[in-house]
């Protein structure tokens, strides 16, 4: 049985899955997406991801392609058919297929829905044990980074720059010298005063679903937590740092540009990573 993708109402072999050339996702990057992790048949924070999807769609005035509960069923079906019990499901929704014209197509044009899966055993990553390097780069993105848009060109350029610098991630820096977030993750530091800092969820960052779960865990553990901007200099003087996302969980950062923070992941970071793992283990297995 070949790996399947879901494209506009049909499960099709992944190798043959395609969208129309006039799809606005292809023509304009006019769409939104979500990435949901699956660990041992458990969806991690599915409701949070679908809430954010709803918000992204609403901000761009794109209709749901199917009802939310139907989407959940389709997601489960794709994962089960592809026998993915540990992995990732990607879903993209675009403003649909219409003759190329920047303004919105006429009402009634159905949104497009594409879903793909990938098997990943997240715990195999050595990053959790060793920590990673990040580089800092100028944030050249638009003013609505709170929308999880498929228009990811600056993020792709940044990630490539990180790759070429043998780094895991690039943390983007605003004109004010403060770090906004990674190209596909949220940035965190622990100050020498033992304050856990990440940026507030304004339109300058994507409000990560993993970020929200980590904030809850930190609150439960009585960790001093502050949402505020922090500069590159402050990050380089931090006791610990990490970067978070649905696919990288809590990934320890041990080096920022040429500044080595530590030789190994710090204790608070490891504690949050382990707490996040335990949080996942307690979720209900629904696949």
Q: Is 198 in the site for ligand PDD (CB under 6 A)?
A: no
- Is 245 a binding residue for ligand PDD by CB under 6 A? The answer is yes
How far is it, in rounded angstroms, from Cα 213 to Cα 199? 15
CB of 209 to ligand PDD, least distance (A): 4
Q: Which of 116, 117, 184, 255 binds ligand PDD (CB under 6 A)?
A: 184
Please, what is the minimum distance in Å from the beta carbon of residue 107 to ligand PDD?
Answer: 30
Nearest distance, CB of residue 98 and ligand PDD, angstroms: 26
**Based on CB atoms, which residue is closest to ligand PDD, 114 or 209?**
209
CB 268 within 8 A of CB 190: yes
Nearest to 232 by CA among 273, 284, 171, 281: 171
Measured at the alpha carbon of residue 21, what is the angle toward residues 106 and 7, in degrees to the nearest 5?
85
Least distance in Å: CB of 244 to ligand PDD? 6
CA distances from 276 to 18, 104, 128, 154, 279 (A): 36, 41, 12, 29, 5
Query: Residues binding ligand PDD: what is the number (CB under 6 A)?
Result: 14
Using Cβ positions, the residue closest to ligand PDD within the complex turns out to be 208
The answer to whether 186 contacts ligand PDD (rule: CB under 6 A) is yes
223, 213 contact by CB (below 8 A): no
The answer to whether 133 is a known catalytic residue is no
**Minimum distance of ligand PDD from residue 245's CB (angstroms):** 4
Contact status: 56 vs ligand PDD (CB under 6 A): no
Report the residue number, 20 or 118, with the smaller CB distance to ligand PDD. 118
Q: Write the CA distances from 145 to 28, 233, 271, 279, integer angstroms.
A: 17, 23, 29, 27
Q: Is 89 left (phi over 0), alpha (psi -120 to 50) or beta?
A: beta
Per annotation, catalytic residue among 83, 148, 194, 224: 148
Least distance CB 181 / ligand PDD (angstroms)? 5
Nearest to 78 by CA among 125, 36, 124, 33: 36
**Region near ligand PDD per CB under 6 A, out of 56-64, 74-82, 96-104, 243-251:** 243-251
> Could you tell me if 38 and 44 are in contact, meaning their C-beta atoms sit under 8 angstroms apart?
yes
Q: Per CB under 6 A, does 181 bind ligand PDD? A: yes
Touching ligand PDD, residues 203-242 (CB under 6 A): 206, 208-211
Q: Which stretch in 70-78, 184-192, 224-232, 274-282 sits in contact with ligand PDD by CB under 6 A? A: 184-192
State yes or no: residue 93 binds ligand PDD (CB under 6 A). no
Residue number with CB closer to ligand PDD (82 or 244):
244
DSSP for 66-135 reads: S-HHHHHHHHHHHHHHTT-SSEEEEEEEES-B-SS-SSPPPTTPPPEEEEEEEE--GGG-THHHH-EEEE
Structure tokens at 144: 């609505």
Which of 12, 19, 35, 215 touches ligand PDD by CB under 6 A? 35
Q: Are the C-beta atoms of residues 191 and 231 closer than 8 Å to each other?
A: no
Positions marked catalytic: 148
Residues that bind ligand PDD (CB under 6 A): 35, 181, 184-186, 206, 208-211, 244-247
């Amino acid at each position: 049985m070949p790996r399947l993708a879901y494209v506009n109402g049909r499960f099709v072999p992944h190798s043959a899955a395609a969208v129309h050339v006039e799809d606005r996702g292809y023509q304009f990057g006019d769409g939104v997406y979500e990435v949901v992790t699956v660990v041992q048949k458990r969806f991690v924070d599915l409701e949070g991801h679908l809430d954010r999807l709803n918000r992204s769609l609403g901000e761009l005035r794109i209709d749901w392609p199917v009802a939310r509960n139907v989407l959940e069923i389709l997601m489960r079906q794709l994962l089960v058919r592809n026998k993915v019990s540990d992995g990732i499901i990607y879903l993209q929704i675009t403003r649909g297929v219409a003759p190329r014209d920047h303004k919105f197509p006429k009402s009634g044009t159905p949104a497009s829905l594409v879903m793909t899966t990938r098997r990943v055993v997240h715990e195999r990553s050595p990053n959790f044990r060793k920590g990673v390097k990040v580089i800092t780069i100028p944030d050249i993105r638009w003013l609505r980074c709170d929308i999880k848009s498929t228009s990811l060109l600056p993020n792709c350029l940044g990630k490539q720059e990180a790759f070429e610098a043998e780094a895991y991630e690039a943390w983007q820096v605003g004109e004010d010298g403060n770090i906004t977030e990674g190209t596909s993750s949220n940035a965190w530091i622990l100050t020498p005063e033992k304050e856990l800092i990440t940026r507030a969820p304004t339109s300058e960052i994507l409000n990560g679903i993993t970020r929200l779960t980590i904030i809850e865990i930190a609150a439960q553990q009585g960790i001093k937590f502050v949402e505020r901007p922090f500069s590159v200099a402050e990050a380089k003087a931090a006791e610990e740092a990490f970067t978070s996302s649905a696919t990288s969980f809590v990934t320890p950062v041990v080096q920022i540009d040429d500044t080595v923070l530590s030789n190994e992941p710090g204790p608070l970071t490891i504690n949050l990573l382990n707490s996040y793992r335990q949080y996942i283990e307690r979720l209900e297995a629904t696949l």
